[in-house]
Structure 1
Amino acid sequence: MTKEQFLKNLNLALEGLSSVERQDILEDYEEHFAIGLEEGKTEEQIASSLGTPHHIAKELLANYHLEKVETTNTTGNIFRAVWAAIGLGFFNLVIVLGPFIGLLGVVFAGWVAGVSFIVSPLLVLVNTVNGTFEIFDLFASIGLCGLGLFIILGMFFVTKWLTKGFVKYLKFNVSLVKGGLKA
């Protein structure tokens, strides 16, 4: 593969990035080719030593999305980072997607439980309309509502903590896939 073909394929594979970031990356790889040509290598040798543009783009996009999650921690950015990490290899489908779905289930269940407990006094209103009001139900629902507020408060911090931990896990996974950990 020639330098022109390599850079063209890399540019196409990096469409998810802004044009400024893409241009910076392309300039870096042009520099790799310039240094390699000075060392007496052919363009084909340099291109094969760098790897495929598609694989390079996957790694760069995964790093980009992980950095973006660290700066602006939104649900969309987290999902993009997860999909970018999964895109690095089939192995990541199990290693990344499994824990992500598990954590998502735990967080979702915690939030649903907290909200359910908070709205439990509404069930007392339903019982009152049906004519089966009991004072025990009123106090039990007030207790559940208070418990629900504590659960929601706890889930707020648990969600933040799990998000940070999962982003660290994604970074670890991406560095592992890219070529192992450095000692």
Structure 2
Amino acid sequence: MNKEQFLKQLEAFLKRLSLEERQDILQDYKEYYAMGIEKGKSEQEISASLGHPKQIAKELLASYHLDMVEQTTSSGNILRAVWAVIGLGFFNILIVLGPFCALAGVVISGWLASVAFILSPLGVLINLFLGQFRMSDMFFSLGLCGIGIFIAMGMLVATKSLTKGFIRYLKFNITFVKGGVKHE
């Protein structure tokens, strides 16, 4: 594959990125070709040493989405980053999707428990209107509400920590897939 074919394929696979991002990436690869030609390599040799444009694009998209998560941590950005990292390889379905589902389950269940505990005094109000009010129910529901507030505070910290840890795990996974993990 020559330089033009390589760059056209790479640009096609990077179409989800902004025009500016694509141009920056393509300029880097044009410079790589220029340096290789100065060293006496043919365009085919340079293309072969770079790898397939589709795999390069997958790695670049995964890195791009992880950078987006670091800039703006939102559920949409996290899902796009997870999906991009899963796309790097078949085994990433198990290696990335499994921990992601487990962490998402823990976070969602923790938040649901805190909301349920905080809203427990509403049950006392319902009992009041039904004529089944007991003072002990009110104190118990207020205790649950307090516990729910503590759970919510803990979940806020846990959610931030788990998100940061999972982003680090995704970065490690990208480095591992690229073959960049070195054992010294």
Q: Under a length normalisation based on structure 2, what TM-score does the superposition of the two structures give?
A: 0.96
Whole-angstrom distance in 1 between the partners of 2:17 and 2:180: 25
Match of 1:102 in 2: 102
Q: What amino acid is the match of 1:82? A: V
Q: 1:105 is matched by which residue type in structure 2?
A: G
Report the RMSD for the aligned CA atoms in angstroms: 1.1
CA distance in 2, matches of 1:74, 1:19: 23
The alpha-carbon deviation at position 33 of structure 1 amounts to: 1.4
- Tell me the CA shift for residue 46 of structure 1: 1.2
For 1:35, the aligned partner's letter is M
Letter in 2 for 1:101: C
Q: In structure 1, what is the equivalent of residue 49 of structure 2?
A: 49
**How far apart are residue 146 of structure 1 and its match?**
0.7
Count the aligned residue pairs. 183
Percent identity between matched residues is 61
Query: What residue number does 2:171 align with?
Result: 171
Cα distance in 2, alignment partners of residues 33 and 142 from structure 1: 69
How many angstroms does 1:37 deviate by? 1.9
Partner amino acid for 2:104? L
Partner in structure 1 of residue 141 of structure 2:
141
Q: Structure 2: how far apart are the matches of 1:68 and 1:175? A: 17
Cα separation, 1, equivalents of 2:135 and 2:38 = 87
**AA matched with 1:76:** G
In structure 2, C-alpha distance between the alignment counterparts of 1:91 and 1:180, rounded to whole Å:
17
Q: CA deviation at 1:40?
A: 2.4
How far does residue 180 in structure 1 lie from its aligned partner after superposition?
3.2
Paired AA for residue 44 in structure 2: E
- Give per-residue Cα distances to partners, 1:50-73, cap 9 Å, x unaligned: 001000000011111111211211
* 2:61 alignment partner in structure 1: 61
Task: Give the distance between the partners of 1:130 and 1:25, measured in 2 at CA.
Answer: 67
Structure 1: how far apart are the matches of 2:144 and 2:119?
9
1:129-165 CA deviation, whole Å, 9 max, x = no partner?
2221111111100100111111111111110010000
Counterpart AA for 2:45? Q
- Which residue identity does 1:14 align to in structure 2? L
What's 2:34 paired with?
A: 34
Tell me the CA shift for residue 122 of structure 1. Answer: 0.7
TM-score (norm 1): 0.96
Equivalent-residue separation in structure 1 for 2:159 and 2:181 (angstroms): 28
**Residue 125 of structure 1: aligned partner:** 125
Q: CA deviation at 1:127?
A: 1.3
Letter in 1 for 2:109: A
Unaligned segments of structure 1, at least 5 residues: none
